[in-house]
Amino acid sequence: MSDVPSVDPLRIGIAGIGNISGQYLATLPRLAGVRVSAVADIDPARAAAVAGPGIRALTPAELLAADDVDLVLNLTVPAAHAEVALAAVAAGKHVYNEKPLALSTVDGRQILEAADAAGVRVGCAPDTVLGTGTQTARRRLDGGGIGVPVAATAFMVSPGPELWHPNPAFFYGTAAGPCWTWARTT
Ligand SMILES: NC(=O)c1ccc[n+]([C@@H]2O[C@H](COP(=O)([O-])OP(=O)(O)OC[C@H]3O[C@@H](n4cnc5c(N)ncnc54)[C@H](O)[C@@H]3O)[C@@H](O)[C@H]2O)c1
């Protein structure tokens, strides 16, 4: 028997059923601590297409008001991130935003301050830094495994999201992705 007390799963409502939502919908059912209870999109057909047993298709407003949603998983386009996150916080929900948190640090701070005041929590992608690769590297660094690093370099090269994304315009918009957010708005 485990000493870990059992807790009810965190009930997730997904806002934005686009390209990336499939990965979340495939992965989240494997985690015991969470349960997707509702989905919503400004295009109702997108939400309806992934609804099923235990997952209700709602309008975005219904999702924010739903009693069976503890956390809004914000998978909308970047331009809608702050608005959706602030509405979720105002409704008393925790929020996890896809990246970027918001299009500006002003909006990002507003989300964090509103969440602090409301007593809810905010998370944001990318959470891949918590994965085994980065954490193993961090552990080796912290443990002195490679001595004192004097320099670091990293590259990520891609021919562009238009090769695989059906609607890639936002990737080229303001504050698209975490690097742009920090480079252009701080
Ligand atoms: N596609 C990827 O591989 C990928 C990878 C990493 C991060 N992301 C991030 O995930 C987010 C979503 O990306 P995507 O590729 O799924 O985009 P997408 O354009 O395919 O889907 C976005 C969905 O959000 C909906 N939407 C827009 N505004 C809304 C609102 N106010 N309320 C409810 N629904 C709304 C749209 O109708 C659409 O269905 C973006 O922030 C992006 O940066 C995507």
Residue 175 is which amino acid?
Answer: A
Residue 93 is which amino acid?
Answer: K
Q: What is the pLDDT of residues 65-97, one digit of tens each?
A: 999 999 999 999 999 999 999 999 999 999 999
Q: Which CATH architecture has domain 1-186?
A: 3-Layer(aba) Sandwich (3.40)
Residue 140 Cα to ligand 1 middle (Å): 35
Across the strands, what pairs with 57? 39
Across the strands, what pairs with 10? 34
Give the Cα separation of 168 and 112 in Å (integer).
Answer: 28
Cβ of 78 below 6 Å from ligand 1: yes
Residue 136 Cα to ligand 1 middle (Å): 30
Q: What is the pLDDT of residues 105-148, one digit of tens each?
A: 899 999 999 999 999 999 999 888 899 999 999 999 999 999 99
Q: What is the pTM of this model?
A: 0.89
For the chain, the farthest-separated pair of C-alpha atoms sits apart, in whole angstroms, at 55
Give the Cα separation of 117 and 144 in Å (integer).
Answer: 40
Across the strands, what pairs with 12? 36, 71
User: What does the domain layout of the chain look like in residue ranges?
Assistant: 1-186
Question: Which residue CA neighbors atom 38 of ligand 1 most closely?
Answer: 18
Residue keyed to tokens 């690093």: 149
Report the length, in residues, of the chain.
Answer: 186
